[in-house]
Structure 1
Amino acid sequence: MKIHPLITKTDDLAALCERLAKSDFVAVDTEFMRENTYWPELCLVQIANTEEAAAIDPMADGLDMTPLLDLLTDNEDVLKVFHAGGQDVEIIYNATGRTPHPIFDTQIAMMAISQSEQIGYSNLVESWMGLTIDKGARFTDWSRRPLTERQIEYAIGDVTHLSKIFPKMLKRLIKTGRGEWLDQEMEKLADPEHYRNDPAQAWKRIKAAGRNPAMLGRLKAIAEWREHEAQGKNIPRGRIARDETLADIASHPPKQQADLAKVRGLSQGWKDNDIGKRLMNTIAKAEPLPDDELPPRAPKGAPLGKEGSLVADLLKLLLKIRAREIDVAARLLARSEDLELLAAGVRKKLPILEGWRYEVFGRDALALVEGKLAFAVENGKLKMTRVEDEALVQEASEASDGAANED
């Protein structure tokens, strides 16, 4: 494989992308910094196909990234391969308003062919190629220039290995027939809505108990205010105030600015500084959350209660058994929340009762809830037994014994 020198010129990048556009797939990775900023700062992009690989310096003076961004977001003929690519896709979306498509994530794909739920890149390489990656450059400052040869070599290695692993992984998926299991997961990863940053929706990421409209209205208002403050200063939102602090203020709103000094998580300075004044103005203007924005009520049959919780636990045990039997990550088959909803009596709009998930796991999960499936121990191992089948066997046995006695 040809490894190019660090690309810092637009003409070189355009020529590279023109060649890569003829590939069936490209492996992509990024290096970025976000510890001290609201927006992640893109510091390096690595890309490879089966024949060549390069690192691109987006911080180079005069470099136009358009050829690369167009390749990633506009070219539907080239599959874009990432590993744990959520943050990489987010950066591309922030730069273009578009996401790479079509897309393939090797971390997600591993869930369909092994019980690995979030396999790290180093373990992926070791598993598929028998190589141990030097992690020494992983936590370096990627924004500092000039980059060292060691940094560049480490970064390019991420995509050269990935370009060799992907074809092998694809063959395994085709052999197992589980490729279609991943279609929905990959489309979800590429969905622009997943990366759209709407400050008005920021409150939904904060844990707050209850459905009180006044409290949630305050939470929505101050969460949106925090997003704008953080964006304006380009600092992480947690540097303004932490989630739990906002939830506390929404539940117990201060009556005057001086009371902010008593709020856990805020400094004494908030009682008379400008940011404290803006926060108090936001609280004062907050409106109760409209009914159509309130979180949905718990579905009928929930909360589970003691018996329902036991049923949910049995479903989780069934999930572990099935995942082990077919060598697939349990998380790909079902989420804990869906199992709890099933135990609570919900039957509609559950992923485990639709499509391939129903065939592989949902049918048995439903049978367990309905008393048609039971756990048994055979030779020291847990297995599943269909109650109805056992009953038929028992009836047949009794009928046979009866006939023999008559004779």
Structure 2
Amino acid sequence: GDSVGYEQLANDLAKARIDKSSRFTDWSRRPLTEAQLAYAESDVTHLREIYLALKADLDASGREAWVAEEMAVLSSPATYEVKPENAWQRLKGRVRKARELPILMEVAAWREREAQTRDVPRQRVLKDDALMDIVQRGPRSVEALAELRSVPNGFERSRSGGEVLAAIERAAAIDPKTLPRLERERGRPTNAAVLDLLKVLLKAVADAERVAPKIIATGDDLEAIASDELSEVPALKGWRREVFGEKALALKNGRLALRIERGRVVVA
């Protein structure tokens, strides 16, 4: 599957049964019950056996480099560094009109700076729905901001409300020619047959590698490859390119074929 829970791992690899009856009990009360203590301990007591089982499987399959590649991304500070000026990119897919883009850029940057300064989740500063309402309506006054139902009561007269209005004013002063191009969501590509073949190839590779297809490539990856083989997608990088990406490019360019053997798709 795409993922597996700790309880399932403990059951399959450590042959342990975890009693989850204490999961939704009141953990603020003291003293904790014996059942609660046992449940809390179970979160770590089986990790060694699970690790050893997974490590043995990795060693046998020669995929230690796969894990090292994934861990390098997770341990890199750049993975978690969010620059306020780039915060708008998380929501760019929800922008429908070019005039909304500068407002999104300015308000999203304000929210990100505020969240980092206060050390709180960005949604606690201003929820995505409220932010997008502001982007789409572009209020220029306290009264107009107050009319938005998604904005919390009193927000329009708060310091944050004033800063949002100031961000909208800054957006209005941005030269449209300096804005990045707004990419439209891709529909089904014109080369739909290529996409269908890539899906079949992915399923065949995933079955052969005993890996969930989505771990190797997503639907967006396949659409990007079908449209442009120079796309910067994960499926064309690292171990994913090695096991699937190169085959996908070869299939697209007629250097690889698929055939049926005993009812199964195989790569030829």
1:342–1:169 Cα change, 3 Å? same
Give the equivalent residue in structure 1 for 2:48.
163
Letter in 1 for 2:32: T
Worse-superposed segment, 262-271 or 153-162: 262-271
Counterpart contact for 1:253–1:283, Cα < 8 Å = yes
* Aligned-pair CA distance for 1:327: 0.7
Report the number of matched residues: 265
Are the aligned partners of 1:261 and 1:270 in contact in 2 as well (CA < 8 Å)? yes
Matched residues in 2 for 1:204 and 1:140: separation?
A: 40
Contact 1:225 1:282 in 2 (8 A): yes
Q: 1:357 & 1:239 partners in 2: Cα distance? A: 36
Task: Label 1:273 to 1:176 Cα distance change in 2 as closer, same or farther (>3 A).
Answer: closer
Counting only pairs closer than 5 Å after superposition, residues 193-212 of structure 1 correspond to structure 2 as: 193-206=78-91, 207-209=93-95, 212=98
Distance 1:349 1:222, change over 3 A: closer
How many angstroms apart in 1 are the aligned matches of 2:234 and 2:170?
40
Q: Which runs of no fewer than 5 residues in structure 2 stay unpaired?
A: none
| Match among 148, 170, 176 for residue 32 of structure 2 | 148
- 2:224 maps to 1:338: no
- Structure of higher CA gyration radius: 1
Whether the aligned pair in 2 keeps the contact of 1:216 and 1:289 (CA below 8 Å) is no
- 1:258 maps to 2:143: yes
Counterpart residue number, 1:382: 264
**Local SS of the residue matching 1:307:** coil
Q: TM-score, structure 1 length as denominator?
A: 0.55
SS in 2 for 1:294: coil
**Residue deviations 1:384-405 (CA, integer Å, cap 9, x gap):** 364xxxxxxxxxxxxxxxxxxx
CA RMSD of aligned residues (A): 3.4
Residue in structure 2 matching 1:245, options 130, 137, 140 = 130
Give, in whole Å, the separation in 2 of the partners of 1:178 and 1:255: 56
1:126 aligns with 2:8: no
Kindly provide the amino acid, as one letter, of the partner of residue 315 in structure 1.
L
Match of 1:136 in 2: 21
Written as runs of structure 1 = structure 2, the 5 A alignment for 1:3-402 is 116-139=1-24, 144=28, 146=30, 148-149=32-33, 150-206=35-91, 207-209=93-95, 212=98, 215-230=100-115, 236-267=121-152, 269-286=154-171, 288=174, 294=180, 303=186, 306-347=189-230, 349=232, 351-353=234-236, 356-379=239-262, 381-384=263-266, 386=268
More strand by proportion, 1 or 2? Answer: 1
SS at match of 1:278: helix
TM-score, normalization: structure 2? 0.80
Map Cα deviations across residues 350-388 of structure 1 (whole Å, 9 max, x no partner).
Answer: 554455434422233123212344544444x231364xx
CA contact 1:201–1:224 (8 Å) conserved in 2: yes
How far 1:211 sits from its partner (Å)? Answer: 8.2
% of aligned pairs identical? Answer: 35
* Cα distance change on mapping 1:319 and 1:234 into 2, 3 Å: same
Q: What amino acid maps onto 1:203 in structure 2?
A: W
Instruction: Report the alpha carbon displacement of residue 273 of structure 1 after superposing the two structures with TM.
Output: 4.7
Point out where structure 1 has 5 or more consecutive residues left out of the alignment.
1-115, 387-407
The one-letter amino acid of 2:246's match is R
**Which AA in structure 2 matches 1:334?**
A
Q: Distance in 2 between matches of 1:171 and 1:228?
A: 45
Q: SS where residue 279 of structure 1 aligns?
A: helix
Opposite residue 257 of structure 1, the aligned amino acid is V
SS at match of 1:383: strand
> How far apart in 1 are the matches of 2:181 and 2:126?
23
SS of 2:229's equivalent in the other structure is coil
Superposed displacement of residue 331, structure 1: 2.9
